[in-house]
Structure 1
Amino acid sequence: MSFVSVYAMENFVNVVSDGQVTDPTGKITNKNYKKFVKIGQQQFMAFAGNQGLAEQAVKIVPFKNEGYPLSVLAQDLHKQVLTIPVDDASILLAVGGLNEKNEIEVISFSNRTDQKNYFNPKGDEIAYTFLTNTKNNISDEISETKLNQFLSETGYNTSSKAIRAQKKLNDFISDNDSTVNKVTFELNIKKR
């Protein structure tokens, strides 16, 4: 599994993922695999890293129409993820959407660090995070630079503009990493 971008502003959050699953030997096992699920009407979980571990995480967070308290969910999931040795497998997760205060919230974490990234954008503030387990280790800094370049081309303040930039970023990553493909899946959640 390879590349997911999450982009949020005060009124919306987008998730864009590529569709490729590559096993540890480099063999492509799936070209059309969506790397996020809805866990509530207005909430999602996105994932990258080991496919089996991601699917286990999805199973322990069933869809609930009303969703979850996102901070509590992230804390509980992160505790479980940290029990997985990085040398065994990598797992990167993000949960987000509308929280119990009807605000956009995104929290990302992995088994690589005990820190979580928390985003609750206000006004014109932009928040984004990348879940990446790429073969060529394209850094978050490169992804951030390219995303900002694409946002300057597409615009940034609406969901559709941001999704265009996110898809361009996915294409850039795909052109530079064989574990990412150009098949994309997208999810948009808007503030009510």
Structure 2
Amino acid sequence: MSYVNVYLGGDFISVVSDTQITRPDGTILQEEMKKFLVTDQKVLIATAGNADVAKIMFDFFKKNQGLQFHDVVAEVDRFLGEIPVFKDFTISQRVIVAGFEKGIVKATSLGMKINQKSEKVNYESGSIIDLIPEDYNFNIGDYSKRLKTFTPKGIVDLQKKALLKVSRHSKQVNDTICEEVITDGN
């Protein structure tokens, strides 16, 4: 699993993630994989779970630019519903889709495990959304009480500090940081 954090500002979206790919048994497969993609329509797709599933999903959205926020949510929901069932193991995948609709910041998180129905939660401006590793329980909502400013820089600094804290306690998260701030530009 991974650590991904998304903050929905009034007019921006901020994302921070680690880059380590780890098997459920703790074996590190890869040290450097970006866990999010921003499309040409400024839609963020961030994921934690199976790296192969993430790669297939990112490749799809790289080839299918031009999709708006609601279209990306529908495609991710469809994609998660089509993941094949494997007899020997269960795939768990969680995805955050964030973007702008008519200038309003929105996000939807989707999650699934094989043989379980996909869960979907919608978010609006001011929300903090975490995808956290299975081996460490962390609530950035409690941690964010330290936040003094809600500027993009202040938010990113808090997100980075949170990721570094998680990386010290989780074997599934490294301290290499990927970050991006997305604005609507309208």
TM-score past 0.5 threshold: yes
The correspondence of residues 45-60 of structure 1 with structure 2, limited to 5 A, is 45-60=45-60
1:69 to partner: Cα distance: 2.4
2:75: which partner in 1? Answer: 76
- 8 Å CA contact retained: 1:150, 1:168: no
The CA deviation string for residues 53-98 of structure 1, in whole angstroms up to 9 with x for no partner, is 1111112222666x42212321231133134469521111111222
Looking at structure 2, the residues matched to 149 and 10 of structure 1 have their Cα atoms a distance apart, in angstroms, of 18
1:90: which partner in 2? Answer: 92
- 8 Å CA contact retained: 1:71, 1:107: no
Looking at structure 1, the residues matched to 75 and 63 of structure 2 have their Cα atoms a distance apart, in angstroms, of 16
The structure-2 alpha-carbon separation of the partners of 1:156 and 1:48, relative to structure 1 and needing over 3 Å to count, comes to farther
- 8 Å CA contact retained: 1:40, 1:63: no
1:143: which partner in 2? Answer: 140
1:33 to partner: Cα distance: 1.7
Q: Which runs of 5+ in 1 are unaligned?
A: none
Q: Which runs of 4+ in 1 moved over 3 A?
A: 82-87
Structural RMSD (CA): 2.2
Aligned length: 179
The correspondence of residues 36-51 of structure 1 with structure 2, limited to 5 A, is 36-51=36-51
- 8 Å CA contact retained: 2:136, 2:169: no
Same amino acid, percent of matched pairs: 24
In the alignment, which of 90, 104, 122 is matched to residue 118 of structure 1? 122
1:128 to partner: Cα distance: 1.4
1:36 to partner: Cα distance: 0.6
1:150 to partner: Cα distance: 3.9
TM-score using structure 1 length: 0.82
Looking at structure 1, the residues matched to 181 and 55 of structure 2 have their Cα atoms a distance apart, in angstroms, of 21
The correspondence of residues 5-24 of structure 1 with structure 2, limited to 5 A, is 5-24=5-24
Looking at structure 1, the residues matched to 24 and 120 of structure 2 have their Cα atoms a distance apart, in angstroms, of 26
- 8 Å CA contact retained: 1:95, 1:106: yes
1:37 to partner: Cα distance: 1.1
